[in-house]
Amino acid sequence: MADSPIPEEPQWEEDVVEDKVRAWTGTDGKILEAEFVTVIGDKAVLKDASGRQRKIPLSRLSDEDRLFIELAKPPKFNIGFSKKSSKRTLDEGPFVMDSRWLPRIYDYVFGAKLKQTSVGEYNHELHVELFVVGEEIDGDNYILLDRQESSFTPTKDNGRFHELYGDKVMLEVRDWSFFADMYRGEKYGGYLVVVTDSRGEIIDYGASHKWLLGLLGTLREFPLGKHFDKTGTRTYPPSLNCWY
């Protein structure tokens, strides 16, 4: 009688990596409902409904199951954020009586750098998304300044390193302090970098503020340059209220 592709094995004490029970299919068509625990050498360790852990040769699992195991062990990254800026002032026009009325312009280029820190090969494409938000000066809302995305596979050839940069983003600041004791405009407010696998599952992220991750779905669809609050609700720029 041929060996079963899902033989019984002694217990193996390991932390469960994936706690979802799924159907595992052997090369002979037999199915086992179990949780994935880990990989030891060339064998997968699965925990069945009774709590028994079994070591199963990877070669005796279906292609789909082997892919699941590969994706269940994603790489970890050191995620860095970069912002380069320069300052300029708009040229005075013929009708500008006081240069203090002229807005100051800050040109930014935002980017992200990812370097794999975990050991091991991962031969699957990853998707990287970068979101940058600004804050309204003397206001209480945020602006989606930039949104970029790219894909890469961490390999030895690219040093398991990836970077992406956006286009130039212009922020404007107006000085009203000479008659209204306030400034108006936008400033840099934070960033979110998300790494997802081929299933669309988040495997790693970096953020200046954790609440931005909770707005991921909103940030993916939100119009660039528009204002929102911490709940992701669309808002409008604050109006200038002054007396002079």
pLDDT at 12: 36
pLDDT at 110: 98
pLDDT at 129: 98
- For range 190-212, the mean pLDDT: 96
When pLDDT is cut at 50, 70 and 90, the band that residue 11 belongs to is: very low
pLDDT at 90: 67
**Does residue 44 come out as left (phi exceeding 0), alpha (psi in the -120 to 50 range) or beta?**
beta
Strands 77-89 and 169-175: unpaired
Query: Are 172 and 89 in contact, with CB atoms under 8 Å apart?
Result: no
pLDDT at 182: 60
The answer to pTM > 0.75 is yes
Nearest to 29 by CA among 4, 1, 52: 4
Residue 225 phi, psi (nearest 5): 85, -5
pLDDT tens figures, 78-87 = 999 999 999 8
Query: Are 110 and 82 in contact, with CB atoms under 8 Å apart?
Result: yes
When pLDDT is cut at 50, 70 and 90, the band that residue 242 belongs to is: very low
Give CA 171 to chain center in angstroms: 24
Give the C-alpha separation, 97 to 91, whole Å.
12
What percent of the chain is predicted at pLDDT more than 90? 59
Six token digits for residue 65: 């199951």
Give the C-alpha separation, 162 to 184, whole Å.
36
Domains of the chain, earliest start first: 22-71 (2.30.30.700), 77-235 (no CATH)
Give the C-alpha separation, 123 to 145, whole Å.
33
Half-sphere exposure at residue 148, Cβ-oriented, CA atoms within 13 angstroms: 20
Query: Are 38 and 17 in contact, with CB atoms under 8 Å apart?
Result: yes
